[in-house]
Amino acid sequence: MKQTVPVAKGQIYEITIQGLGTSGEGVGRYEGFTVFIPFVLPEEQVKAKITLVKKNYAIGEVVDILKPSPHRVEPICPVYGTCGGCQLQHVSYEEQLHLKTQNVRDIMERIGKTNPALVQPALGPNSPWGYRNKMQIPVGFENDQAALGFYARGSHAIVPCTNCAIQDDGNNKIAAVCERLLRETKLQPYNEMTGDGMIRHIIGRIGKSGWMVIIVSTSKTLLKADYWVSEIRKALPEVTSIVLNHNPKKTNVIMGRDCTLLWGEETITDTIDELEFRLSPHSFFQVNPIQTTVLYKKALEFAQLTGKETVIDAYCGTGTISLFLAKQAKHVIGIEIVEPAIVDAKANAKRNGITNAEFIAADAAKEMPALVKRGVKADVVVFDPIRAGCKEEVLKAAATMEPERMVYVSCNPASMARDIVVLRELGYEVEIVQPVDMFPMTSHCEAVALLRKSFTK
Ligand SMILES: C[S@@+](CC[C@H](N)C(=O)[O-])C[C@H]1O[C@@H](n2cnc3c(N)ncnc32)[C@H](O)[C@@H]1O
C-alpha cells in the first residue's frame, strides 16, 4: 500500500523524539511518518521545520524545543551545530555513554540476533574533551583571508575554528600558529572546486616524543619555508618534526604520497601502555591514546592468553594489537593489506624487543585461506577490520582453524553484528560485547566482542 507523505518541505510540525539514529540524529514520527532531526534527544518534544522530504522519510531542523530532556546540556563549542565534527555536545556525557550502550544493544539484537543483555555498559574516559592526538584541518577563507577550520555538516564549506574542544590542546596551538603564518606569508589556500591555490590541509600529530606538523600543498616546495620553520619552532618548542606533503591531485584524499622533511626528525613516537610506536607522516595510529589502551586491554582480557597460544590478528595495521597480545602469547601472526603499515609493524616489534610476532603484507581474504591450506592452526583469532567489516572468506577461514576464541574489535557495530551472524553459523557464539567510547561528543562507538567455539569434534 502506498504511504501518503503527511509532511511538506518548509512546514513546521510538533514531533516527539523516540530514539537516536546511528549518526546521532533524533528519530521521531509525524502521523507515523519517520522524521530525522539532528541535535535533539529521546523523549524531547520539539517543533521542527522540514528541510527535505523523501518517499519514506523526511529531515527536519529544530526551531523550538517544547519539552527538553533532563540530559540536555549547553554545548561548549561556539561552532557546534555548524561544524560537522561533533553530534552529541548537547548531551551530558553520562547520557552519551548510555545512548551508545543502547545503540550497540539495539544493533546486536536487531542485526546480530544476540541477547542485548550480553552488551556491557560503554566504557568512557575520565574527561571526554581534548582527546584527539591527530588533527587534519582544511585550509580555506574567512572574509577573504586565509583561515583554518573544519568542514561544515554535510558539505566541504569551512567553518573557521582553531580551538576545537575535542582536539589535544597541542593541535589547537599548531592550528593557530599555521593560520597566522598563512596570513603573513600570503600563501593561497587550495580551492577544491577550481583546483587553484596551494595549501590544502595542516596536519598536527601529538606524540610522547614531540609534535609533528605536516603542511599539505599542491606544490613540491614551500615558499618561504625558512620563515615557516623558524616561526613554528619559536612559537611551539614542542614541535620536533616539520614536513611538507605534496598532494597535487584533484582528490578528497588528504595526503599525497611524497613527503619532504623541512626540519627536525622524520618521525615522532607515541606509546600505548608500555609499548612504543614510531609514527611517520602516513602511519595509521588510533586517535584517542587513553581509550585505545582501554580497548586493547579488553581485547587482551577476552583473548585469555596463557603464553601457549598462537594468535592471528587479521587486520593488524601497524601491529598495535598484535604487539599488545604478543607479550602474553606464544606466537602472533599479523596480516595487513597496506605494505608500509607492515614495514612499521616490523619496526615496532623490533623497537619493543618483541620477537614472537610475524607480519604478512597481504589481503586477509586471500591470506587466511592460504594459512588454512598450509595447515596453520590458531588458538585465538582477532579481527579489527575497517567499517565495512570482514569478508566472508576471512570468517570462514578463521572458523576452519577452529580457534577456541575469537575477539572482534569493531569501529562499526552494525557490520560486526552482521559478521557475528555468519560466525554463529560457523559454530561461534557471542559471550560478551564491550562498547568502548573512543570518540566522545561524536556518534561513533567502538566495540569489542568475545566469541567462543560452540562445537566439539
Ligand atoms: C581499523 S584498522 C585496524 C588497525 C589496527 N588493528 C589498529 O588498531 O591500529 C583496519 C586495518 O585493516 C586494514 N585492511 C583493510 N582491508 C584489508 C584486507 N582486505 N586485508 C588485510 N587488511 C586490511 C586497513 O589497512 C587497516 O590498517
User: Is the four-CA dihedral 277, 280, 285, 287 of positive or negative sign?
Assistant: positive
Going from the Cα of 381 to the center of ligand 1, the distance in angstroms, rounded, reads 14
**Same domain, yes or no: 104 and 57:** no
**Same domain, yes or no: 391 and 306:** yes
CA atoms within 13 A of residue 326's CA, in its CB half-sphere: 26
> How high is the ipTM of this complex?
0.99
Instruction: Give the pairing of strands 12-20 and 158-160.
Output: unpaired
pLDDT in tens, 299-335: 999 999 999 999 999 999 999 999 999 999 999 999 9
pLDDT in tens, 260-296: 999 999 999 999 999 999 899 988 899 999 999 999 9
Residue 24 covered by a domain:
yes
Residue 169 covered by a domain:
yes
Residue 266 covered by a domain:
yes
Substitution candidate for ligand 1 out of 336, 393, 395, 407 with most atoms within 8 A of CB: 336
Q: Whose CA is nearest to atom 18 of ligand 1?
A: 363
**Same domain, yes or no: 300 and 446:** yes
**Same domain, yes or no: 182 and 105:** no
**Same domain, yes or no: 172 and 299:** no
Q: Is there a contact between 240 and 268 (Cβ–Cβ < 8 Å)?
A: yes
Of 396, 381, 387, 404, the closest CA to residue 454 belongs to: 404
Residue 75 covered by a domain:
no
Of 13, 11, 72, the closest CA to residue 42 belongs to: 72
Among 242, 270, 298, residue at a domain's last position: 270
**Same domain, yes or no: 223 and 305:** no
Binding residue positions for S-adenosyl-L-methionine? 286, 315, 336, 384
446 lines ligand 1 (CB under 6 A): no
User: Is the four-CA dihedral 367, 373, 374, 376 of positive or negative sign?
Assistant: positive
387 lines ligand 1 (CB under 6 A): no
Q: Supply the range of the domain harboring residue 156.
A: 134-270
Q: How far is CA 343 from CA 150, 271, 283, in A?
A: 32, 18, 10
Q: Is the pTM of this model over 0.80?
A: yes
Going from the Cα of 192 to the center of ligand 1, the distance in angstroms, rounded, reads 29
- Residue 154 predicted with pLDDT over 90: no
pLDDT in tens, 79-117: 999 999 999 999 999 999 999 999 999 999 999 999 999
Among 47, 67, 87, residue at a domain's last position: 67
Taking residues 152-162, report their average pLDDT: 90
Of 437, 94, 81, 77, the closest CA to residue 287 belongs to: 437
279 lines ligand 1 (CB under 6 A): no
Q: What is the CATH number of the domain that holds 140?
A: 2.40.50.1070
User: Is the four-CA dihedral 363, 365, 368, 373 of positive or negative sign?
Assistant: negative
pLDDT in tens, 225-236: 999 999 999 999
Hunting for cell 557495530 — which residue is that? 413
Q: Please pick, among 77, 161, 316, 411, the residue that the annotation labels catalytic.
A: 411
Structure confidence at residue 450 (pLDDT): 98
Q: What is the CATH number of the domain that holds 40?
A: 2.40.50.140
Rounded Cα–Cα distance for residues 139 and 356 (Å): 44
386 lines ligand 1 (CB under 6 A): yes
Residue 94 covered by a domain:
no
Query: Quick one: which atom of ligand 1 is closest to the CA of 322?
Result: 6
Cβ count within 10 A of residue 139: 25
Rounded Cα–Cα distance for residues 131 and 151 (Å): 19
- % of residues, the chain, pLDDT over 90: 93
**Same domain, yes or no: 217 and 344:** no
Rounded Cα–Cα distance for residues 431 and 406 (Å): 10
Q: Whose CA is nearest to atom 13 of ligand 1?
A: 315
Rounded Cα–Cα distance for residues 75 and 432 (Å): 34
**Same domain, yes or no: 448 and 303:** yes
pLDDT in tens, 180-218: 999 999 999 999 889 999 999 999 999 999 999 999 999
Among 235, 270, 305, residue at a domain's last position: 270
Rounded Cα–Cα distance for residues 310 and 326 (Å): 9
Residue 240 covered by a domain:
yes
Rounded Cα–Cα distance for residues 418 and 260 (Å): 43
User: Does residue 178 carry a catalytic annotation?
Assistant: no
Q: Whose CA is nearest to atom 9 of ligand 1?
A: 317
- Residue 3 predicted with pLDDT over 70: no
Q: What are the backbone dihedrals phi and psi of residue 82, each rounded to the nearest 5 degrees, phi first?
A: -90, -50
User: Is the four-CA dihedral 353, 357, 362, 364 of positive or negative sign?
Assistant: negative
**Same domain, yes or no: 329 and 421:** yes
Q: What is the CATH number of the domain that holds 354?
A: 3.40.50.150
Q: Is there a contact between 404 and 452 (Cβ–Cβ < 8 Å)?
A: yes
363 lines ligand 1 (CB under 6 A): yes
**Same domain, yes or no: 223 and 247:** yes
Structure confidence at residue 457 (pLDDT): 66
Q: Is there a contact between 111 and 414 (Cβ–Cβ < 8 Å)?
A: yes
Taking residues 390-411, report their average pLDDT: 97
Rounded Cα–Cα distance for residues 341 and 300 (Å): 22
Taking residues 390-408, report their average pLDDT: 98
Q: Whose CA is nearest to atom 17 of ligand 1?
A: 337
Q: How many domains does the chain have?
A: 3
Q: How far is CA 254 from CA 151, 210, 216, 259, in A?
A: 13, 22, 8, 13
**Same domain, yes or no: 117 and 199:** no
**Same domain, yes or no: 57 and 204:** no
Burial 291-316 (b: 16+ CB within 10 A, else e): bbbbbbbbbbebbebeeebbbbbbbb
Residue 444 covered by a domain:
yes
Q: How far is CA 350 from CA 175, 278, 317, 345, in A?
A: 34, 11, 16, 9
Q: Which grid cell sits at 217?
A: 600543498
Residue 202 covered by a domain:
yes
